[in-house]
Amino acid sequence: MNQFSGWKYGVIIISVILSLVYALPNLYGESPAIQIMPIKSGEKIEPSILASVESGLQEKNLAITGLIIEPFSIKIKFASPDEQLAAKSYVQQVLGESYVVALNLISNSPSWLTGIGALPMYLGLDLRGGVHFLMQLDLSKVSEKKSDGLLQDTRKLLRDEKVKYFASKKIGDTIEIKFRSADALSKAKDIIRSQGGGRGIFGGSISKTTEAYEFSEINNTDEFILLVKNNDISNEDTVSFALKQNLETLNNRVNELGVAEPIIQQQGKDRIVVQLPGVQDTAKAKEIIGRTAILEMRIVDEDQSSPENLETLNPDNLPLGTELYKDRFGNPILVKKDIILTGERIINAGPGVDQQTGQSIVSITLDSAGANIFKQVTRENVGKRIALLLIEKNITEVITAPVIKSEIGGGRVQITGMRNAQEATDVALLLRAGSLATPMEIVEERTVGPSMGKENIARGINSTIWGFLAIAIMMASYYMLFGVISVIGLSVNLLFLVALLSVIQATLTLPGLAAIALTLGMAIDANVLINERIRDELRNGNTPQASIKIGYEKAWGTILDSNITTMIAGIALFMFGSGPIKGFAVVHVLGIITSMYSAIWVSRSIVNYIYGSRRKLDSLSIGEIFKVENN
């Protein structure tokens, strides 16, 4: 009655072997390495650079211990972190700015393991060291800008369509346009509505059939007022678009930072998580990531910019539709509120030198929409100045305001007015990496130093190993052979858990390591239940074979119930937990699943293998059983 059919043994043996293979990479450890990636993600690496890097490193006496070539990156392993650092600075120097050279740790497991997708467990930041940022988008700016854009778009539309209005202004998030006739108002309304394809200031993707605005009217005897407001759909669209752009921008910036395996993800509606493993210079990371620079191009209001006029301007009472800023030399510049272009239209930017003046410049390339707008605006504004505004930390500065000499087509623009080459490089980087659609603030930071990470790993592993050994001794001495079988089941459980975590590449954190230890302590419950049940049956006078069978059967229901309740807690932790707690939850839940399999199937298979085929079985090695005489 206690015999498994061959296929059951087969399944168990195969699952154990598979787990062994997939858990194996964890034993090999990691080597320091450098990772070479093109600065623009998605570009392939020129094959020729590898040879030059290799020979260069050889000359410098930096021995390459391993080389992994992938389409989008080259990873070079070294024996020591010192060599790794030396190699990084050397390679960066050789390759220049079109490549990023990042430090990384790469598994030493043999290539056949990597080939079948067997990787070591993915360690969280608290175990490998690094920085975690949670960034919050400032959405107040988004809707404000959007209503600004709406006002400008509407004015332009009405002018183009020759609909006469006599006043227009923005009140909060609503724009107000006053007409002389009801006719003009309804015509204007139709025009605005037909433009409802919702190209807000940050673009957007509302389909044309969706109403993007909310209208209301006030009809007086001599004036007809139209109120227009972006509706919720349109605002949501703008927010998600702003978030997408910020994500992309962060991606580019982190790329420039040279981090091997960054994680940049949306969290919730208006937050972004940035995780940079191995980053030690947190100050630099914060500076580059946190830079909230926004670039805008606007036309200077030349009509009211005579020197006398500028001096007498009252900042609280500026001419309609203008704003007053200062340029780098402290001179006031009066610019129009209409934004011609923002940084999002820039597809490339690089530092350079003006061949005529020798000044440092930044040359930028606009995308086709940007190029069209730029062409039109420069045609209409020849002789006027175009101002480039950089908005950083709520301070707006006019970097430069060159005079438009002629229409500029083709989308290639040069920005002069850089102080020096360094600044040209910085501005180019900022423009190339993109600007943010809306400012962000770091609302959570968790930094773990590299030595702390190592310590944490040792803490987690020691807790697990010593806890495991103590349990093994207890079980074996209390339940004898059945105790030993339980311990084997427990070891297999540990193996399954490690293999599973490696395969799904779930992030392992310090609480996760604690969960592995805790899972072992809890998983033994199933074995204890089974062993106690078998003892019970023996005590009740059943034969050993029957006791095994009934013991396992009766224990099963209890094990299921108790594991499901534990699972409920695990799932809640996963749903509501964040960061390290999620790590705990994942391991906890997986551990419950593996422990049920190993306690019920694996341990049963061993018991069956040992006892199942014996016809005459007088006793089980399950420890001394105390019998109650009167029972």
Partner 1 sequence: MEIFRVKKDIPFMKYRGISAVISTLIFVLAIAFLSIKGLNLGVDFTGGTIMEVSYPEAANIENIRETLVTLDLTDTQVQNFGTANDVLIRLPIIPDLSIAELSEKVAVALKAGNRDVEIMRVESVGAQVGDELYEDGALAILFVCLGIVLYLTMRFEWRFAIAAIVANLHDVIIILGFFAFFQWEFNLTVLAAVLAVLGYSVNESVVVFDRVRENFRKMRKASVEDVINNAITRTMSRTIMTHLSTQTVVISMLIFGGEILNNFALALTIGILFGIYSSIMVGCPLAMWLGTSQTNLVITKPESKNNSEAL
- CB 539, CB 628: distance < 8 Å: yes
Which of left, alpha, beta for 462 (phi over 0: left; psi -120 to 50: alpha)?
alpha
Burial per residue of 357-378, b for 16 or more beta-carbon CB atoms within 10 angstroms, e otherwise: eebbbbbbbbeeebbebbbebb
- Under the binding rule (CB under 8 A), the answer on residue 477 touching partner 1 is yes
Binding mask 94-133 for partner 1 (x = CB under 8 A): ---------------------------------------x
Per-residue CA distances from 126 to 108, 460, 500, 503, 557 (Å):
21, 11, 21, 20, 38
**Residue 290 Cβ vs partner 1, minimum distance, rounded to whole Å:** 6
Binding mask 488-517 for partner 1 (x = CB under 8 A): ----------------------xx--xx-x
Contact segment (CB under 8 A) with partner 1 among 43-51, 83-91, 377-385, 620-628 equals: 620-628
- Under the binding rule (CB under 8 A), the answer on residue 33 touching partner 1 is no
- Exactly one of 104, 143, 400, 566 binds partner 1 (CB under 8 A); which one? 566
Find the DSSP H helices in 108-231.
Answer: 111-115, 125-128, 139-160, 182-194
Q: 437: which residues sit within 8 A by CB, 6+ positions away?
A: 142, 202, 241, 242, 243, 245, 246, 249, 294, 344
Question: Using CB under 8 A, which residues numbered 127 to 156 contact partner 1?
Answer: 133-134, 136
- The three-state secondary structure class of 54 is helix
Question: Using CB under 8 A, which residues numbered 259 to 298 contact partner 1?
Answer: 282-283, 286, 290
Q: Which is nearer to partner 1, 334 or 530 (CB)?
A: 530
Contact segment (CB under 8 A) with partner 1 among 187-195, 418-426, 546-554, 612-620 equals: 546-554
**Residue 9 Cβ vs partner 1, minimum distance, rounded to whole Å:** 14
Residue appearing with tokens 């992030």: 507
Binding mask 322-341 for partner 1 (x = CB under 8 A): --------------------
Cα–Cα distance for residue pair 601/4, rounded to 1 Å: 10
Q: 190: which residues sit within 8 A by CB, 6+ positions away?
A: none
Cα–Cα distance for residue pair 292/247, rounded to 1 Å: 13
Q: Which is nearer to partner 1, 387 or 510 (CB)?
A: 510
Q: 426: which residues sit within 8 A by CB, 6+ positions away?
A: none
E strands in 386-430 = 386-392, 395-400, 412-415
- Under the binding rule (CB under 8 A), the answer on residue 9 touching partner 1 is no
- Exactly one of 382, 403, 474, 504 binds partner 1 (CB under 8 A); which one? 474
- Under the binding rule (CB under 8 A), the answer on residue 558 touching partner 1 is yes
Partner residues linked to 614 by β-bridges:
none
**Residue 578 Cβ vs partner 1, minimum distance, rounded to whole Å:** 7
Q: Which is nearer to partner 1, 190 or 441 (CB)?
A: 441
Q: Which two tokens stand for residue 605?
A: 């298979």
Residue appearing with tokens 């930096």: 62
Q: Which is nearer to partner 1, 101 or 606 (CB)?
A: 606
- Exactly one of 309, 441, 613, 614 binds partner 1 (CB under 8 A); which one? 441
- Count the site residues for partner 1 by CB under 8 A: 88
3-state SS track over 296-363? EEEEECHHHCCHHHHHHCCCCCCCCCEEEEEECCCCEEEEECCCCEEHHHEEEEEEEECCCCCCEEEE
**Residue 473 Cβ vs partner 1, minimum distance, rounded to whole Å:** 9
Q: Which is nearer to partner 1, 183 or 445 (CB)?
A: 445
Question: Using CB under 8 A, which residues numbered 580 to 619 contact partner 1?
Answer: 580-581, 584-585, 588, 600, 604
Q: Which is nearer to partner 1, 318 or 528 (CB)?
A: 528
**Residue 142 Cβ vs partner 1, minimum distance, rounded to whole Å:** 18
- CB 238, CB 141: distance < 8 Å: no
- Under the binding rule (CB under 8 A), the answer on residue 575 touching partner 1 is yes
- Exactly one of 187, 525, 542, 609 binds partner 1 (CB under 8 A); which one? 525
- Exactly one of 445, 454, 504, 613 binds partner 1 (CB under 8 A); which one? 445
Contact segment (CB under 8 A) with partner 1 among 179-187, 211-219, 417-425, 579-587 equals: 579-587
- The three-state secondary structure class of 103 is strand
